[in-house]
Amino acid sequence: MYNLFIFIRKYNAVILFILLEVLCFIMIVQSLPYHNRKMANVSNSISGGIHKTTSNWNDYLHLRSENEALVEHNALLLKRLGCEEAEADTAYYDDVFTYIPARVVNNSIYEMNNYIVIDKGSVDGIEPDMGVICGNGVVGKVLNVTQHFASVMSMLNSYSIISCRFIDNQYVANVVWDNGNYRYGLVKDIPSHLIIKVGDTLVTSGFSNSFPADVLVGTIEEKGEDDENMFSTAKLKFSTNFSTLRYVYVVKNNFKSEIDSLCITR
């Protein structure tokens, strides 16, 4: 306290100067309309700038939870859409597929056999052999499951084989990956009498129990050669962009065990 008095005594002129100038400034700003408005503008722009910056930071910090909420919502919508389509069909298909949203935590595209790791595991109901799709199309199949994570064999894998269907004429073929560019795959087992055009769209056949029918796989980019077994091949451009994969949906077939048991008995 004593030091404070000494300080005030020593710098009384400076303190008084500052006080008087502040007083003058307040008077100016309060009484002169032009200065008043100008000051309001300045303070607005400063506070506005600060608010904008903090809100930007906040938005960024909440980006993940926002994304997760959106993905959750998407899953719900997808499910509802599935139900509506199924209603038109038969009662059996009610609630056949459940979509579990997941985040990609690791992804490779340049290996011979590429795998994706997602942040959902057995706790969330993920099981091996479930299909994985994203908003643009098919991604792959679940390979191994731990408690909280699962590895997915992406379509960019030499062991991957997906059953597909031409959307125009319903012919079925298989899509594999030929260790090349991550944008392109190979359509095998196309009946050679089939006239394929560049731009033909392939969707999942729905025969595999892992994927619902009619999920986009890709479009024909280039016609290949016929092989001697009456089947031809074609170059396919994946609709999924594997290099920018962030959020995926794991497809759970609620009747998989039932279907599997049928297959076994047969």
Could you list the residues that contact other proteins (CB under 8 A)? 12-13, 16-17, 20-21, 23-28, 30-32, 34-35, 38-39
Element (H, E) at 165: strand 162-166
Could you tell me the smallest distance in angstroms from the CB atom of residue 3 to other proteins? 20
Q: Pick from 229, 145, 139, 226: which is nearest to 185 by CA? A: 139
Could you tell me the smallest distance in angstroms from the CB atom of residue 51 to other proteins? 23
Rank residues 29 and 75 by Cβ distance to other proteins and give the closer one: 29
Rank residues 16 and 61 by Cβ distance to other proteins and give the closer one: 16
Which residues on adjacent β-strands are paired with residue 223? Answer: 234
Could you tell me the smallest distance in angstroms from the CB atom of residue 11 to other proteins? 10
Could you tell me the smallest distance in angstroms from the CB atom of residue 52 to other proteins? 22
Cα Rg of the chain, angstroms: 31
Backbone angles phi, psi at 215, to 5 degrees: -90, 135
Rank residues 3 and 31 by Cβ distance to other proteins and give the closer one: 31
C-beta separation of 101 from 71 below 8 A: yes
Rank residues 4 and 264 by Cβ distance to other proteins and give the closer one: 4
CA 96 vs. chain centroid, Å, equals: 22
C-beta separation of 190 from 164 below 8 A: no
